[in-house]
Amino acid sequence: MARVCQVTGKKPITGHHVSFSNIKTNRRFLPNLQTKRFFLAEEDKWITLKVSADGLRTINKRGLYAVVKELRAGGNKSI
């Protein structure tokens, strides 16, 4: 479960690669994950999160502390 966004929970999904002759073979669609360090000013420390591009937008919109607080309430002990 390495390719999972810690904020949104996005993970790889499966689909088909379709060739010109319309032969379908299985493939994976991976989320756009980035490993990013954030400074948590309320606790005066750095945290590292593996987030998708959508997760970065969520952090920008709601604020880092609100997102981290929700993750901790959900049972994520590593943050």
CATH number for 20: 2.30.170.40
Q: For 4-56, write each residue's pLDDT tens digit.
A: 999 999 999 999 999 999 999 999 999 999 999 999 999 999 999 999 999 99
6 belongs to a structural domain: no
Tally the domains of the chain: 1
Domain of residue 52: give its range: 13-73
56 belongs to a structural domain: yes
pLDDT (mean) for 56-64: 96
Find out whether 22 and 45 touch, Cβ atoms under 8 Å.
Answer: no
Give the helix ranges, DSSP H, for the chain: 53-62, 64-73
Residues of 37-71 as b/e, b for ≥16 C-beta within 10 angstroms? ebeeeeeeeeeebbbbeebbebbeeeebeebbeeb
7 belongs to a structural domain: no
